Amino acid sequence: MAPAPRFSPAEQERLILCAAITTIEQSSLLDFSMSKLAKLAGLSMGSVYKFVQCKEDVLIALAAKMYQERQRIFKQVLALPLTTPQRIMANSLLDFSKVQMYNFDDQLESMVNNRAMMKRCSPRWLEQMIACGKVCEAIFYGFLQSAADSGELISGDRDIEEISFGTWALAVGYFQTVRLHQSWQNEMSDEENLPALAPDNVHIRTMQRLINTYDWQQSLTNEDILKTCQCLIDEGLR
Protein backbone atom coordinates (compact mmCIF):
# COMPACT_ATOMS: atom_id res chain seq x y z
CA MET A 1 0.00 0.00 0.00
CA ALA A 2 1.36 3.41 -0.92
CA PRO A 3 2.05 5.74 2.00
CA ALA A 4 -0.44 8.51 2.62
CA PRO A 5 0.68 11.89 1.22
CA ARG A 6 2.28 14.24 3.75
CA PHE A 7 0.13 17.16 2.69
CA SER A 8 -3.36 17.59 1.31
CA PRO A 9 -3.72 19.16 -2.16
CA ALA A 10 -4.75 22.47 -0.55
CA GLU A 11 -1.71 22.40 1.74
CA GLN A 12 0.60 21.63 -1.18
CA GLU A 13 -0.81 24.52 -3.16
CA ARG A 14 -0.30 26.86 -0.20
CA LEU A 15 3.30 25.65 0.25
CA ILE A 16 4.05 26.17 -3.44
CA LEU A 17 2.67 29.70 -3.54
CA CYS A 18 4.39 30.70 -0.29
CA ALA A 19 7.67 29.32 -1.63
CA ALA A 20 7.10 31.19 -4.90
CA ILE A 21 6.76 34.48 -3.05
CA THR A 22 10.00 33.90 -1.16
CA THR A 23 11.85 32.79 -4.29
CA ILE A 24 10.71 35.83 -6.27
CA GLU A 25 11.61 38.19 -3.43
CA GLN A 26 15.10 36.68 -3.37
CA SER A 27 15.55 36.97 -7.14
CA SER A 28 12.94 38.55 -9.40
CA LEU A 29 9.75 37.85 -11.32
CA LEU A 30 11.83 36.86 -14.33
CA ASP A 31 14.73 35.00 -12.74
CA PHE A 32 13.20 32.81 -10.05
CA SER A 33 13.95 29.08 -10.20
CA MET A 34 11.34 26.33 -10.21
CA SER A 35 13.83 23.95 -8.60
CA LYS A 36 14.47 26.41 -5.76
CA LEU A 37 10.73 26.88 -5.40
CA ALA A 38 10.27 23.12 -4.97
CA LYS A 39 13.11 22.98 -2.44
CA LEU A 40 11.66 25.81 -0.36
CA ALA A 41 8.22 24.20 -0.48
CA GLY A 42 9.68 20.88 0.69
CA LEU A 43 8.10 19.10 -2.28
CA SER A 44 9.35 17.09 -5.24
CA MET A 45 9.37 18.67 -8.68
CA GLY A 46 6.67 16.17 -9.64
CA SER A 47 4.43 17.42 -6.85
CA VAL A 48 5.02 21.03 -7.87
CA TYR A 49 4.19 20.31 -11.52
CA LYS A 50 0.83 18.85 -10.49
CA PHE A 51 -0.19 22.39 -9.59
CA VAL A 52 1.93 24.65 -11.81
CA GLN A 53 3.37 23.50 -15.11
CA CYS A 54 5.59 26.51 -15.81
CA LYS A 55 6.77 29.86 -14.47
CA GLU A 56 3.83 31.58 -16.15
CA ASP A 57 1.47 29.42 -14.09
CA VAL A 58 3.24 30.52 -10.91
CA LEU A 59 2.84 34.20 -11.78
CA ILE A 60 -0.79 33.88 -12.84
CA ALA A 61 -1.57 31.87 -9.68
CA LEU A 62 0.00 34.58 -7.51
CA ALA A 63 -1.94 37.23 -9.42
CA ALA A 64 -5.20 35.35 -8.83
CA LYS A 65 -4.51 35.41 -5.08
CA MET A 66 -3.59 39.10 -5.29
CA TYR A 67 -6.86 39.93 -7.03
CA GLN A 68 -8.81 37.93 -4.44
CA GLU A 69 -7.28 40.14 -1.77
CA ARG A 70 -8.16 43.23 -3.78
CA GLN A 71 -11.77 42.06 -3.85
CA ARG A 72 -11.75 42.18 -0.06
CA ILE A 73 -10.27 45.69 -0.01
CA PHE A 74 -12.66 46.80 -2.75
CA LYS A 75 -15.65 45.61 -0.73
CA GLN A 76 -14.29 47.35 2.38
CA VAL A 77 -13.92 50.65 0.52
CA LEU A 78 -17.36 50.46 -1.09
CA ALA A 79 -18.92 49.80 2.34
CA LEU A 80 -17.49 52.98 3.90
CA PRO A 81 -20.04 55.45 5.37
CA LEU A 82 -19.60 57.90 2.49
CA THR A 83 -21.57 59.06 -0.53
CA THR A 84 -21.22 57.10 -3.76
CA PRO A 85 -18.98 59.75 -5.40
CA GLN A 86 -16.78 59.78 -2.29
CA ARG A 87 -16.45 56.00 -2.34
CA ILE A 88 -15.56 56.02 -6.04
CA MET A 89 -12.82 58.54 -5.27
CA ALA A 90 -11.64 56.52 -2.26
CA ASN A 91 -10.19 53.86 -4.54
CA SER A 92 -7.73 56.41 -5.95
CA LEU A 93 -6.84 57.73 -2.49
CA LEU A 94 -5.77 54.40 -1.00
CA ASP A 95 -2.24 54.00 0.33
CA PHE A 96 -1.21 50.97 -1.71
CA SER A 97 1.62 50.13 0.68
CA LYS A 98 -1.09 49.33 3.24
CA VAL A 99 -3.17 47.11 0.97
CA GLN A 100 -0.57 45.32 -1.16
CA MET A 101 -0.30 41.55 -0.92
CA TYR A 102 3.30 41.25 -2.15
CA ASN A 103 6.13 43.74 -2.39
CA PHE A 104 6.09 43.13 -6.14
CA ASP A 105 2.35 43.73 -6.77
CA ASP A 106 2.91 46.44 -9.39
CA GLN A 107 5.42 44.46 -11.42
CA LEU A 108 3.31 41.31 -11.21
CA GLU A 109 0.20 43.08 -12.45
CA SER A 110 2.08 44.51 -15.42
CA MET A 111 3.41 41.10 -16.38
CA VAL A 112 0.29 38.99 -16.09
CA ASN A 113 -1.94 41.35 -18.07
CA ASN A 114 -0.03 40.49 -21.19
CA ARG A 115 -1.37 38.40 -24.06
CA ALA A 116 1.85 36.40 -24.46
CA MET A 117 1.83 35.51 -20.76
CA MET A 118 -1.80 34.44 -20.88
CA LYS A 119 -1.18 32.20 -23.89
CA ARG A 120 1.63 30.33 -22.12
CA CYS A 121 -0.12 29.62 -18.81
CA SER A 122 -2.49 26.76 -17.96
CA PRO A 123 -6.25 27.37 -18.45
CA ARG A 124 -6.95 26.56 -14.79
CA TRP A 125 -4.95 29.49 -13.43
CA LEU A 126 -5.92 31.90 -16.18
CA GLU A 127 -9.59 31.19 -15.56
CA GLN A 128 -9.12 31.84 -11.85
CA MET A 129 -7.44 35.19 -12.48
CA ILE A 130 -10.04 36.31 -15.02
CA ALA A 131 -12.86 35.23 -12.69
CA CYS A 132 -11.43 37.45 -9.94
CA GLY A 133 -11.47 40.43 -12.28
CA LYS A 134 -15.05 39.72 -13.27
CA VAL A 135 -16.10 39.58 -9.62
CA CYS A 136 -14.60 43.04 -8.99
CA GLU A 137 -16.41 44.36 -12.06
CA ALA A 138 -19.70 42.86 -10.88
CA ILE A 139 -19.23 44.33 -7.39
CA PHE A 140 -18.74 47.83 -8.83
CA TYR A 141 -21.69 47.51 -11.19
CA GLY A 142 -23.86 46.41 -8.27
CA PHE A 143 -22.59 49.34 -6.23
CA LEU A 144 -23.53 51.81 -8.97
CA GLN A 145 -26.87 50.08 -9.53
CA SER A 146 -27.70 50.61 -5.86
CA ALA A 147 -26.94 54.32 -6.27
CA ALA A 148 -29.22 54.44 -9.31
CA ASP A 149 -32.01 52.54 -7.54
CA SER A 150 -31.85 54.85 -4.51
CA GLY A 151 -31.93 57.99 -6.65
CA GLU A 152 -28.46 59.09 -5.56
CA LEU A 153 -27.39 58.70 -9.20
CA ILE A 154 -30.14 60.83 -10.70
CA SER A 155 -29.67 59.62 -14.27
CA GLY A 156 -30.39 56.07 -13.15
CA ASP A 157 -29.15 53.07 -15.14
CA ARG A 158 -28.20 55.13 -18.17
CA ASP A 159 -24.72 56.17 -17.00
CA ILE A 160 -23.58 53.09 -15.06
CA GLU A 161 -21.48 51.62 -17.87
CA GLU A 162 -19.84 54.96 -18.63
CA ILE A 163 -18.99 55.65 -14.99
CA SER A 164 -17.58 52.18 -14.49
CA PHE A 165 -15.47 52.22 -17.65
CA GLY A 166 -14.34 55.83 -17.33
CA THR A 167 -13.22 55.74 -13.71
CA TRP A 168 -11.48 52.38 -14.17
CA ALA A 169 -9.66 53.52 -17.32
CA LEU A 170 -8.56 56.79 -15.74
CA ALA A 171 -7.22 55.11 -12.61
CA VAL A 172 -5.40 52.31 -14.42
CA GLY A 173 -4.02 54.64 -17.06
CA TYR A 174 -2.73 57.15 -14.53
CA PHE A 175 -0.93 54.69 -12.29
CA GLN A 176 0.59 52.74 -15.17
CA THR A 177 1.82 55.93 -16.83
CA VAL A 178 3.39 57.28 -13.65
CA ARG A 179 5.12 53.97 -12.92
CA LEU A 180 6.45 53.83 -16.48
CA HIS A 181 7.92 57.34 -16.27
CA GLN A 182 9.44 56.62 -12.87
CA SER A 183 11.04 53.48 -14.27
CA TRP A 184 12.52 55.48 -17.15
CA GLN A 185 13.92 57.99 -14.70
CA ASN A 186 15.05 55.35 -12.18
CA GLU A 187 13.12 57.12 -9.43
CA MET A 188 11.80 53.93 -7.84
CA SER A 189 13.39 50.67 -6.78
CA ASP A 190 11.60 47.42 -7.64
CA GLU A 191 10.18 47.16 -4.14
CA GLU A 192 8.72 50.65 -3.80
CA ASN A 193 5.08 51.58 -4.33
CA LEU A 194 3.60 54.90 -5.26
CA PRO A 195 2.76 56.95 -2.17
CA ALA A 196 -0.85 57.75 -1.35
CA LEU A 197 -1.96 60.57 -3.61
CA ALA A 198 -2.46 64.03 -2.11
CA PRO A 199 -6.01 65.45 -2.26
CA ASP A 200 -4.86 67.99 -4.85
CA ASN A 201 -2.93 65.53 -7.03
CA VAL A 202 -3.60 65.90 -10.76
CA HIS A 203 -5.20 62.44 -10.93
CA ILE A 204 -7.52 63.25 -8.03
CA ARG A 205 -8.52 66.56 -9.62
CA THR A 206 -9.17 64.85 -12.95
CA MET A 207 -11.17 62.05 -11.31
CA GLN A 208 -13.23 64.66 -9.47
CA ARG A 209 -14.07 66.38 -12.77
CA LEU A 210 -15.03 63.06 -14.35
CA ILE A 211 -17.26 62.03 -11.45
CA ASN A 212 -18.97 65.43 -11.39
CA THR A 213 -19.95 65.22 -15.06
CA TYR A 214 -22.68 62.80 -13.97
CA ASP A 215 -25.91 63.69 -12.17
CA TRP A 216 -25.56 62.99 -8.45
CA GLN A 217 -27.70 64.25 -5.64
CA GLN A 218 -24.45 65.61 -4.17
CA SER A 219 -21.48 66.47 -6.36
CA LEU A 220 -17.97 65.75 -5.11
CA THR A 221 -16.40 68.80 -3.45
CA ASN A 222 -12.84 69.41 -2.23
CA GLU A 223 -14.14 69.04 1.32
CA ASP A 224 -15.60 65.65 0.38
CA ILE A 225 -12.16 64.52 -0.80
CA LEU A 226 -10.60 65.55 2.51
CA LYS A 227 -13.35 63.71 4.36
CA THR A 228 -12.70 60.62 2.25
CA CYS A 229 -8.98 60.78 3.07
CA GLN A 230 -9.75 60.92 6.78
CA CYS A 231 -12.17 58.02 6.52
CA LEU A 232 -9.49 55.90 4.84
CA ILE A 233 -6.99 56.87 7.56
CA ASP A 234 -9.50 55.79 10.21
CA GLU A 235 -9.87 52.44 8.42
CA GLY A 236 -6.11 51.94 8.20
CA LEU A 237 -6.22 52.20 4.41
CA ARG A 238 -4.27 55.46 4.11
Q: With the C-alpha atoms ordered 190, 191, 196, 198, is the resulting torsion angle positive or negative?
A: negative
Is there a domain that residue 59 lies in?
no
Q: Are residues 98 and 211 in the same domain?
A: yes
131 alpha-carbon distance from chain centroid = 13
Judging by beta carbons within 10 Å of its beta carbon (0-12, 13-18, 19+), is residue 49 exposed, middle or buried?
Answer: middle
Q: What is the pLDDT of residue 186?
A: 60
The string of pLDDT tens digits covering residues 135-172 is 989 999 999 999 999 999 999 999 999 999 999 999 98
The pLDDT of residue 98: 87
Contact yes or no for 156/215 (Cβ under 8 A):
no
pTM of this structure: 0.85
Q: What pLDDT digit, counting tens, does each position of 193-234 carry?
A: 678 999 999 999 999 999 999 999 999 999 999 999 999 999
**Is the Cβ–Cβ distance between 57 and 127 less than 8 Å?**
no
The percent of the chain in helix, strand and coil, each rounded to the nearest 5, is: 70, 0, 30
* Residue 201 belongs to some domain of the structure: yes
Range of the domain at 87: 64-234
CB count in 10 Å sphere of residue 150? 10
Residues with Cβ within 8 Å of 142's Cβ and at least 6 positions away in sequence, in order, are none
Say what the pLDDT of residue 174 is: 85
Using only C-alpha atoms, the chain has a radius of gyration, in whole angstroms, of: 20
Residue 57 forms part of a structural domain: no
Let me know whether 24 and 113 are in one domain: no
Cβ neighbours for 160, distance < 8 A, ≥ 6 positions apart: 141, 144, 145, 148, 153
Q: Which tens digits make up the pLDDT trace of 61-112?
A: 999 999 999 899 999 999 999 999 999 999 999 998 888 899 898 889 888 9
Residue 24 located in a structural domain: yes
Structural domain count, the chain: 2
